[in-house]
Structure 1
């Protein structure tokens, strides 16, 4: 295990990166994230040094799909739940899900809060997988239940979604 002060905000941003051509890496020297576009002269150097630069990959679509499914299953409104369940079946599931959310502003807000929480949980899990012990708290640690370690994200249930800022 290595201790590291992490740039949590940059790490969160890297996990949300929607440009597959841009590669992101966490430096285990200073905890900073490097975002390197194609052709960047540092890209080859960073890729060749996995001991000092850990690649940050986008969250796989299968995991994001599971988040959709879990979110939908937790919906209390059966009409909305059934509509969303139908939308996420087959090719184009993410697009259809987003289209429905555009018609449901409250559920859209809840979805983005839920997704952000799941993203935070995944980031903390990823940090642990890299055998890193953070020396600083994640900026979202104030949202965690009392008694939780400062860098560990907590699972939130549907009732607590509306309380997040």
Structure 2
């Protein structure tokens, strides 16, 4: 099957990646293939009956549900990031943060917060991984090839 080409701006791509990170049971995000915009519907968002009807009528053709980045994927990213850390003590601290159960994301971030450079490196790493993941998910699940203008 041939991929559908969708052109968006770098800003819209950033919004799309952010929406993939934010999707939850309470909020549904939709990507408008014509405009590149993200539309959000959910329990805590003021309802717009016209938008809801438009999304329902044009779902699949114009609108698609924004793919969700799962927590297990984020956890794998943290594990991989730890392998890039040069400082052995920090690497061990991060491994310990990842070994506990509940609250792992908070512990990981708290451990990184002692080192601004490393925290910024983590955010850059995570951002890059999520951008790659969104491009991959859209190609595999929706047959969409994104072209992002600089």
Q: TM tier, shorter chain?
A: 0.7 to 0.9
Query: Alpha-carbon deviations, 1:16-68, whole Å to 9, x = none?
Result: 32765222111233332212233442336525643132111431000000000
The Cα of 1:74 is off from its aligned counterpart by: 1.6
TM-score, normalised to structure 1, is 0.72
Residue 46 (structure 1) aligned with residue 58 (structure 2): no
Change (3 A) 1:109 1:18: farther
Change (3 A) 1:109 1:46: same
**Aligned position for 1:146:** none
2-structure distance, mates of 1:126, 1:64: 15
Aligned residues: 138
Residue 91 (structure 1) aligned with residue 93 (structure 2): no
- Provide structure 1 residue ranges, at least 5 long, that are not aligned to the other structure: 140-165
Question: Whose RCO is larger (CA < 8 A, sep 6+)?
Answer: 2
Q: Secondary structure at the match of 1:75?
A: coil
Structure with greater helix share of residues: 2
Give the conservation status (yes or no) of the 8 Å contact 2:77–2:129: yes
Q: Secondary structure at the match of 1:34?
A: strand
Give the conservation status (yes or no) of the 8 Å contact 1:4–1:30: no
**Aligned position for 1:60:** 70
1-structure distance, mates of 2:23, 2:31: 17
2-structure distance, mates of 1:17, 1:133: 22
